[in-house]
Chain A
Amino acid sequence: MQSPMTYAVETRDLTRIFAGKKKRRFRRKAGSNGSEDSLGPVTALDGVSLGIKEGELFGMLGPNGAGKTTLIKILATLLLPTAGQAFVAGHDVAKDPFPIRQRINMVSGGETSGYGLLTARENIWMFSQFYGVPSKVSKERIDDLMHIFGLWDKRDAKVRMLSTGQRQKMNMIRGFVTDPDILFLDEPTLGLDVNAARVIREYVMNWVRKRAGKTVLLTSHYMAEADQMCDRIAIIDKGRILACDTPANLKRMIRTETTFQLEVDTIRDTTSFVGLRGVKNFSHKDDISKNRSHLTFILEDEGPVAEILSSITSQGAKVHSLQKSEPTLEDVFISMVGRGLD
């Protein structure tokens, strides 16, 4: 018997440093200054400590390059940590991967893996055989899941004939067909159409909630997705966990703060916002095609609004819209790091 305090996934000071990459090709082209290509060691994870309880749908929310995929790879026994420890189902990922592998599965969104010569069904079936799922059980599960994810029409199509989205659905089925106890989903809806993404979200939520002992770790850089789906969320940036709580509690952290969103003509100078009293943080994103800037301000109160507006108009830019909004997880992120999620 596992005690209720046992975590399905636990990391202690988990750190992962990648040695610098050699990109000779780029260096030669880019000349010698190579600021972007001066590829020294990269700290992808920096002392991450997390505990994910059995039965939880846990989310990692963070921008590109935050370290989400690296964490998933370590937990899935694909990559070794540089320092610190990680336990999955009570086993150390570095020392004892085999019993972990029997209980997990992993799906990465936005990729198109699969054996092109096999049919969609054969491809999924083959992977289930690696896990010793009885063939008949596997086939029944595949049929069910194909109906649910809308791949039934393509069940006997060769994988190489499937579209990117169809392959992604196939891979999602590959993840569920082995009925893992712990499922790692790395940006599962990346690049999928709205409808397919919704089906997947709902299926994942039901899967965790309706069965005992299932745990999901999901990464995302869509804040709405994380908010809607997850029991708890860790906000990650540059390899560090900035906060970890339920979505409601995370948003409550900035409850006393006010979020304003502005759409203005493209502005160049945002330094004038930095020192303004009452401005906790802000993010700035340009929409080049429309020649507009989107500004999100996290304010301690509504005091500085007038000053912000006058600072914008003094640059000769027009304000097209101004909106006060309910705090979102993205606002929490902006409040902490002064940047949006993408």
Chain B
Amino acid sequence: MNTYWRTFKVAAWLGWEMDSNWTEPWLFVLYSVIKPVAGAFILVLMYVVFVAIGRPQGDPDAFSYMYIGNSFFIFVASVLFGTFQVIQSDREWYQTIRYVYISPISYYVYILGRAASKIAVSVFAVAITLVFGVFFLGVRMHLALSDVPLFLVTTILGLAVLLAIGICLGGISFLTAKHTHGLAEGIPGLFYVFCGVLFPLSVLPDWGQAIGRAIPLTYWFDITRRLLAPTISVNTTLGGYDEPTILLFLVISSIAFFGLSVVIYKLGEYFARKAGKIDMTTSY
């Protein structure tokens, strides 16, 4: 336990130093605000194009749906890619991986620690995006005080799922760095389409809906939206389930994904140590 905690602490410190220290503090703060706001403007643009094409007739509910989904998608891209990148950057850029790896720590926990700072940075970005949306873009959002604990629980679960997927990618990237790079960029795209981020599951064909239902993030996005914006009415096909059921789906699939991530990671690590690939560089 002591080892895990020590690993986590130092890794989180390192992650934070690297995520926040690349520039002057004031520039970092400015960047942290401007980036999500710029992202919000891209969303507005997308929405305007959608409306121009003529599908949703300028429906404020649809806009809120899409806006909230996209705000939370910031987590997906940054945590997934960030986790995968821990191994990659230690290997290729800093070339420190062998020294981290042979130290008496848990490398698995090390990755979690490094990812923690990515999460901290994205929590801020998500919050800024949401606040900006509510105040300047008329996004309909209202989180009841009584829902706050549940909201926190589901957010933590959702992040845990993302970490799990990120660590799976990490385990795979031990073995084939190049291809994993593609995966780490492609998988968020997959989630974007199939997990009801931009548009509800109901617009997907049956097979697409089936994929969506197999991914815990679908439930996460759904329950997050129900809690944050209970008033918007968009048909999602998950409407038939009540909140506790969705939460149960989320819990079960999160646990399954986490178990799977540990197994895949351990296998990847074992085979990498066997093949001599832990500290390989790919020289792209």
Residues of A near any B CB (own CB < 8 A): 18-19, 73, 76-80, 98, 101-102, 104-106, 108, 111-118, 122, 126-127, 129-132, 174
Contacts and interface: CB of A to CB of B under 8 A. Distances in A.
28 contacts: A18-B276, A73-B98, A73-B276, A77-B102, A78-B102, A78-B279, A79-B276, A80-B273, A80-B274, A102-B104, A105-B102, A106-B102, A112-B95, A113-B96, A113-B98, A114-B94, A114-B95, A117-B18, A117-B22, A118-B14, A118-B21, A129-B9, A130-B105, A131-B103, A131-B104, A132-B2, A132-B104, A174-B99
B278 interface: yes
Contact of B7 (A73, A111, A118, A130): A130
Contacts of A18: 276
Most buried by A among B98, B104, B105: B104
Contacts of A112: 95
Contacts of A118: 14, 17, 21
A1 to B, nearest CB: 23
Contacts of A19: 275
A126 B103 CA distance: 11
B99 to A, nearest CB: 6
Contact of B103 (A73, A114, A122, A130): A130
B13 interface: yes
Contacts, number: 76
Interface of B: 2, 6-7, 9-10, 13-14, 17-18, 21-22, 93-96, 98-105, 273-276, 278-279
A113 B274 CA distance: 23
Contacts of B274: 80
A115 B100 CA distance: 12
Nearest to B13: A126
A303 B181 CA distance: 66
B262 to A, nearest CB: 17
Contacts of B276: 18, 73, 79
Contacts of B102: 76-78, 101, 104-106
A40 to B, nearest CB: 16
Contacts of B17: 115, 117-118, 122
A259 B95 CA distance: 43
Contacts of A80: 273-274
Chain B interface helix/strand/loop/mixed? helix
A312 to B, nearest CB: 44
A104 B99 CA distance: 11
B94 A101 contact: no
B95 A98 contact: no
B27 to A, nearest CB: 14
A80 B95 CA distance: 20
A126 B10 contact: yes
B94 A115 contact: yes
Nearest to A73: B276
A22 to B, nearest CB: 12
Contacts of A102: 104
Nearest to A132: B6
Given A115-B14, A115-B18, A79 B94 contact: no
A79 B273 contact: yes
Given A78-B102, A104-B102, A115-B96, 19 more contacts: A78-B98, A80-B274, A101-B103, A108-B98, A112-B95, A113-B95, A113-B96, A115-B14, A115-B17, A116-B94, A117-B22, A118-B17, A126-B14, A127-B99, A127-B103, A130-B10, A130-B103, A130-B104, A131-B104
Contact of B94 (A77, A104, A113, A130): A113
Contacts of B273: 78-80
A89 to B, nearest CB: 12
B126 to A, nearest CB: 25
B269 to A, nearest CB: 11
A106 B6 contact: no
Contacts of A174: 99
Contact of B100 (A98, A105, A117, A130): A130
Contacts of A130: 6-7, 10, 100, 103-105
Contacts of A111: 95
Contacts of B278: 78-79
A98 B7 CA distance: 14
A129 B18 CA distance: 17
Contacts of A79: 273, 276, 278
Contacts of B104: 98, 101-102, 130-132
A76 B9 CA distance: 24
